[in-house]
Structure formats: C-alpha cells, structure tokens
Amino acid sequence: MDNNIKRPKVGLGVAVIKEGKVLLGLRKGSHGAATWAFPGGHLEFGESIEDCARREVMEETSLKIKNIKHLDFTNDVFDEEKHYITLSVVADYESGEVTLCEPDKCERWEWFDWDHFPEPLFLAEQHLLEQDVKRLLKFQGWNV
C-alpha cells in the first residue's frame, strides 16, 4: 500500500437547532479561518456518526444534543492538501449553556436564523446550502 497517496478525510458538521435557530462558530487557527461553521470535526475510527456528533458538540460548546438525524454530505476540496467528505447531521439542543471550549479553534458561537446566515461561510456549509438543505430540513419536520 502506498502511504503517499492523498485521500479525503471524513469530517462531520452538526446543525444544532434551538428555537428555530442554528448554532455557528467563527473559525480560527486552521483551514477555514475567519469563516462561520457548525460545530464538528473528524470522525474517529470505529465511531458512529451519532457518537461523533455528540462528542464534537460537547467538546466545542459544552452543549448536549438529541434527536440526531442524518442530513446530507458534501465533497469539499479546500486546496491541494485538504480534501474532506463532510457528513452533515441535524440535532435538537437538549441542555447546557454555549461555552467557548476551544478558543484556539473558534472565536465565538452565535445562534442564527436559517435565512440570515453570516458570511463568509465555511466551504462545507456553503456546499450544503447550495444543495437546498433548508427544504430538506422542513420536509423532515424541523422548525427552521
């Protein structure tokens, strides 16, 4: 096996819904710095998508989530070195206060209306919105 072959990584973004709004963080310190993104990260070996969603949201925001549902995926090529398949899920806020748990990776967290997302958006979120994800969310019964 050639270890020099470049392959995409698997990322996960979690659209946390609370009172019809979604949580976005202003990224810093890595690819996508100064863009707004859902909480998320890398899917770990052997980890379920739902467990990854719970873990990443807790690690980044200290929030607990519930009712995790698969949403869609995007194919995100950032540059010659970074290529991700990003799995997107949607979940209801369960409990907790938003906390900036990783200040080296995120400047702040804010709740936004689906019709008024901040700009610029992280590439995965841009691609997700291009796929008319709001229509899919409403079809699934989410209040957005």
| 8-state DSSP, 132 | T
| Cis check: omega of the bond before 39, within 30 degrees of 0 | no
What residue ranges define each of the domains in the chain, with the CATH number in brackets? 9-137 (3.90.79.10)
**Residue pLDDT, tens place only, 55-79:** 999 999 999 999 999 999 999 998 8
Element at 108 (helix H, strand E)? strand 106-113
Query: Which pTM was predicted?
Result: 0.93
| 8-state DSSP, 143 | -
- Return mean pLDDT, the chain: 93
- Please state, in angstroms and rounded to a whole number, the distance separating the CA atoms of residues 57 and 61: 6
- Please state, in angstroms and rounded to a whole number, the distance separating the CA atoms of residues 6 and 85: 13
Mean pLDDT of 27-43: 93
